[in-house]
Amino acid sequence: MDHIAEIFRRDGGQILASLIRASGSFELAEDAMQDAFIIAANTWPRDGVPPNPAGWITTTAKHRLIDHVRRDARRGVKEALVAAVEQIADDPAEGEDDRLRMIFCCCHPALSLDARVALTLQTVCGMAAAQIASAFVVPEATMAQRLVRAKRKIQSAGIRYEVPTADELDSRLGAVLAIVYLVFNHGYNAVTDRRGIGSDLCAEAIRLGRIMSLSMPREPEVAALLALMLLNDARRAARIDGDGNIVLFEDQDRASWDRDELTEGLALVERAPRLGNVGQYWLQAAIAAEHVGPPSSDARDWQRICRLYDLLVGQTRGSDVVRLNRAIALSMTEGPDEALATIEPLRDRLGRYAYFHAAEADFLARLGDAARAAAAYRTAIDLADSEAQRRSLGKALAKLSRDVELG
């Protein structure tokens, strides 16, 4: 059964995408694939696993789908659908374009943001509704209803199952990349997750990035997003200790970083600009590369990081969080007083953001204003959205207090 589950996770999205493309129906395609996996679960333990398990599932699902179609009374429609289903490749690897079509279909801007995320995880990544619900902390019934509504919306709105034309690609691709990165960040930020959900979401986002990179090898921002996710994911295991506490970047054990992901990510950062005009994902990836590329934290080029942030502010239309991150880099080149002045105009808009107050506290502490720094840390602790963040900020506050006592 573990073997069947692995095939479902690895190849289910591709098989389903091919069935939907041929039948034009989520419902028929899902029923056919589910039937095929049930048959596999009943016969493989007795007959043995076939040499090409995914191909066996695809062929069986095709037969089940044809059975469904032949029960339809509309003769002309029936014959056309049977012909389309019979054209599905028996080897899922031969129909990789179907999965790219599925990604664009699931990420269509006519769907709500929540629906796009959930539908992509289920249909492209093969995650069950219960897993998705757990990852986004909603009841399973709520997630199941969300998925049903999204599929109905695709049918009723006539959303086409295709990769956009060249004229449409720029606007549509950005929305798809945003969904993939949202999935990754949701997993990446679940730093104290003990159920593996955070790791699952990061892995699925990277898998989506690889699918898109293979299918769209000339798109620089596709390569850049994959680079960004790999460079961040390489450090994921080092970001928490055995007790679930956050480990700051400067204190992370670089030997525990995933060297394969780092190597691949850094190579993609170098490659992306040669493909064409790069944007915000390359700038973020280039900043990440400046942090992880040098042999030590002290060797980072803060001047270059600031220049990259200047460009990123323009790309993201002045995002307040990007401006805050730029101020942190600025504090390393121009000093904490300059950084403090830079973030002051952001106070009204980021006043409920814990990391705004954490950055302010760090700047004040470096300027020797311990009382105001402590107050800022306390505000950050009150606004933190996880126990791990509160503990990390509490440690910083305790260190500040010890330093004042020793001084």
Domain of residue 38, CATH code = 1.10.1740
pLDDT attached to residue 27 = 85
In which band, very low, low, confident or very high, does the pLDDT at 77 lie, cut at 50, 70 and 90?
low
Tell whether 60 is covered by a domain. yes
Tell whether 207 is covered by a domain. no
- Determine contact, residues 304/276, Cβ cutoff 8 Å: no
pLDDT attached to residue 90 = 65
User: Whole-angstrom Cα distance, residue 313 to residue 321?
Assistant: 9
Tell whether 128 is covered by a domain. no
Tell whether 21 is covered by a domain. yes
pLDDT digits 0-9 by tens, 273-307: 999 999 999 999 999 999 999 999 999 999 999 99
Of 100, 174, 106, whose CA–CA distance to 146 is shortest? 106
- Determine contact, residues 275/223, Cβ cutoff 8 Å: yes
User: Whole-angstrom Cα distance, residue 269 to residue 285?
Assistant: 7
User: Whole-angstrom Cα distance, residue 358 to residue 122?
Assistant: 37
In which band, very low, low, confident or very high, does the pLDDT at 352 lie, cut at 50, 70 and 90?
very high
**339: pLDDT strictly greater than 80:** yes
Of 333, 331, 390, whose CA–CA distance to 343 is shortest? 331
Tell whether 273 is covered by a domain. no
Structure tokens at 368: 């020797």
Tell whether 26 is covered by a domain. yes
In which band, very low, low, confident or very high, does the pLDDT at 407 lie, cut at 50, 70 and 90?
low
Structure tokens at 404: 């004042």
Share of the chain above pLDDT 70, in %: 91
pLDDT digits 0-9 by tens, 10-57: 788 888 888 888 887 888 888 999 999 999 999 998 988 998 998 899
pLDDT attached to residue 367 = 96
Q: How far is CA 19 from CA 87, 88, 141, 191, 211, in A?
A: 10, 7, 26, 37, 18
Tally of residues, the chain: 407
Tell whether 72 is covered by a domain. yes
Tell whether 275 is covered by a domain. no
User: Whole-angstrom Cα distance, residue 37 to residue 217?
Assistant: 33
pLDDT attached to residue 194 = 47
Task: Kindly report the pTM of this predicted structure.
Answer: 0.85
Question: What does the mean pLDDT of the chain come to?
Answer: 88
Look at the chain and report how many structural domains it folds into. Answer: 1
With tokens 């302010």, the residue in question is 360
- Host domain of residue 30: 1-90
Q: Residue range 318-334: average pLDDT?
A: 95
pLDDT digits 0-9 by tens, 226-268: 999 999 999 988 998 888 889 999 999 999 999 999 999 999 9
Instruction: Write out the H or E segment, with its range, that includes residue 250.
Output: none
